[in-house]
Amino acid sequence: MFDLIGKLYGPFFSLHNWETVISSGSDWLVIFSLVLIECLLSVDNAVVLAAQTQALPTKELREKSLFYGIWGAYIFRFLIIGMGVYLINFWEIKVLGAGYLLFLTLQYFSKSRVKHTRKLVSDKKRHIPLFWSVVIQIELMDIVFSIDSVLASLAISPNPVIVLIGGMIGILAMRGVAELIMRLMRIIPELEPMAYGLIGLIAVKLFISIPVIDIEIPAAGFGLIVLAAVVITLIIHFLRRKGRQTADGSHNNKG
């Protein structure tokens, strides 16, 4: 039992592993990629979590529930990454994971995606106080929301410390600047399809790493792909906007 726990969570407590990651520029590029994907894919989840807190009567209680919620999200993320790092070594898990990520991508682009929703806490009879009822629901939502992110992160990098740092920063950024990210995605709507396109690429990366194919794309190389995807998306957006402005100008001149 203790041997298994050591295998699952030992890498988190390796000082050398942490020093290597923190001092490596290529690892920070991968972490940036993980944070970006976490934020783009989870911003609507942040809105759902924030909406759940509206059942609480005061701002102080709402902020307190999110504070407890974020620490719960951190603890769960730590636990699931440890299990995921172990399980991702089995090729069957890689195939299942790749299939699931590809399903998410196809679901999005087929416009049949079902957004995460959650009913607010009602005034029905409860066995626990309202505040803790909200906190428990926030934790449950975090568990559901984090599965996609952890699976995608482990497909990019098998290093649990990199995945943990990326996940922690991503959760904090997503909770703290959800409104800003939503506004940015409204201004640049191409960011959302780009994110799901990257999820499709991650599915391919995970699948081709199985022993039968045995092709590994380095994590740092994939980080560069993510960075290039962001730059290309921004270029496409500004070209489209310029084209629309030109078309509108031509139309106004004719009028």
Residue 178: per-residue pLDDT: 63
Regions of the chain where pLDDT drops below 70: 1, 43-51, 112-127, 144-145, 177-179, 182, 249-255
**pLDDT for the residue 138:** 77
pLDDT for 253 = 65
State residue 183's pLDDT score.
76
Q: Quote the pLDDT of residue 18.
A: 92
N residues, the chain: 255
SS3 track for 129-171: CHHHHHHHHHHHHHHHHHHHHHHHHHHHCCCHHHHHHHHHHHH
What are the pLDDT digits (tens) for 82-117? 888 888 888 888 999 899 889 888 988 887 554 544
**For position 124, what pLDDT does the model report?**
47
Q: What is the pTM of this model?
A: 0.73
